[in-house]
Structure 1
């Protein structure tokens, strides 16, 4: 993954970007502790405590501080996230952002750009748990589990290549 952020040739970056994040999330979900497989409630509780709650706390903190950051010129109407300037939030925008953070884990504070992965990791780890619970043969047979993960990785690579070729993107 680090190679994709280095000064390597563009073709190398494009190749790595086709699969590096899906692979990271699949492996993260695959590597969770086996004891959590026995109790789904405990697993989800730990994921919410470790991924959802930190995301919500930090997003709400930055939402509350948004207008203060604007007045201190930390946020700017000229320079901003993805080339768009940032303006002070109205009360209506504040309420909308608050509910987006709580219900959909969607937040875009300029200073929290790197926290997008918490939402994705939460959902991918829960998806991994569901897949393992739905397919009990994977849980019982270690070799079958490794083969299934390998096929899932290959499927993600193929899906990523097709989406890239046809210019498709998953909804956010």
Structure 2
């Protein structure tokens, strides 16, 4: 059944579909990496699949985040960073501590032994999937400062910051990924400056050329992944952008078909799924392998991916209906609570 594509409030509906596709790839990728660490998956299959997924699925999230940076900054420049702290730093702190604590307690069952000291370092050096929130927050900090003090040439200056970091190969942990993914965030800002052009880009008839271009990009990225960082980083930028544009094309078409509505739902809940999926997927692997003695990688991949999506989705939906439980994911001030109450009325 076909439904007319619409805007969800101020949201671009196809963007939520893109995030839905992205979060499925995130969960699948982490399930696969967990199985590889446990020695349960074919090495060649893992190498090809891992390279494919990681060549564009995280760039997608940074590009999508960049789409709305300028509009959000202009709407409330004074409160911009406080809002980012509430939506990025807050869940980063809460869930880094929760996940690390669980990993410390269950170290005998997990792939890696996590020392108790990790509880004290996980907020400085991000662990596992939490690098994304950490990186995204500091990318926002960089662009906030540039837009605050040099608004006329802000995007150009930010792009120059990335270019300099690329040329000097700024490998400064834990900020290496901040400079690496700044390129994608800035690309999102650039195409987000014209929402009409953005819509044309998504619904344009570019699917087939993008498939061909993406295939070529993937080939060169795969065969050059073990060369110098200068080559791989540049190829990642190209592959990530082309892959994201292709996902945008797919998403725009998917939103017209009702059977794909679950992609929008997962996209809107992507932060909750992202925060919880490793706990669930790892738990699935432990139960299947340690207790049920199941070692079939296909069963593990399917079970880990499905459970890693579905359980966090419903937990997130349940928590967000509560003023208290929603605190695990974001800080709600009185104004947010009033707006939420009015929306539900």
State the 1:70 CA deviation: 2.0
State the 1:41 CA deviation: 3.8
State the 1:40 CA deviation: 3.5
State the 1:25 CA deviation: 4.4
Q: Work out whether 1:63 is the aligned partner of 2:63.
A: no
Distance 1:63 1:48, change over 3 A: same
Match of 1:171 in 2: 173
State the 1:27 CA deviation: 7.0
Structure 1: stretches of 5+ with no match in the other structure: 81-85, 140-144
Match of 1:31 in 2: 68
Distance 1:25 1:134, change over 3 A: farther
Secondary structure at the residue paired with 1:123? helix
The structure 1 residue matched to 2:126, chosen from 102, 107, 117, is: 107
Calculate the aligned-residue CA RMSD, in Å: 4.1
TM-score by length of 1: 0.53
Q: Work out whether 1:152 is the aligned partner of 2:159.
A: yes
- List aligned pairs for 1:1-172, cutoff 5 A: 7=48, 25=62, 28-29=65-66, 31-37=68-74, 39-71=76-108, 73=109, 75=110, 79-80=111-112, 86-89=113-116, 93=117, 97-98=119-120, 100-102=121-123, 104=124, 106-108=125-127, 113-138=128-153, 148=156, 152=159, 156-157=162-163, 159-160=165-166, 163=169, 169-172=171-174
Consecutive aligned runs of 4 or more in structure 1 exceeding 4 Å deviation: 23-27
Task: Count the aligned residue pairs.
Answer: 128
The answer to whether the 8 A contact 2:97-2:122 is kept is yes
The answer to whether the 8 A contact 1:55-1:118 is kept is yes
Structure 2: stretches of 5+ with no match in the other structure: 1-21, 30-46, 175-345
Distance 1:157 1:61, change over 3 A: same
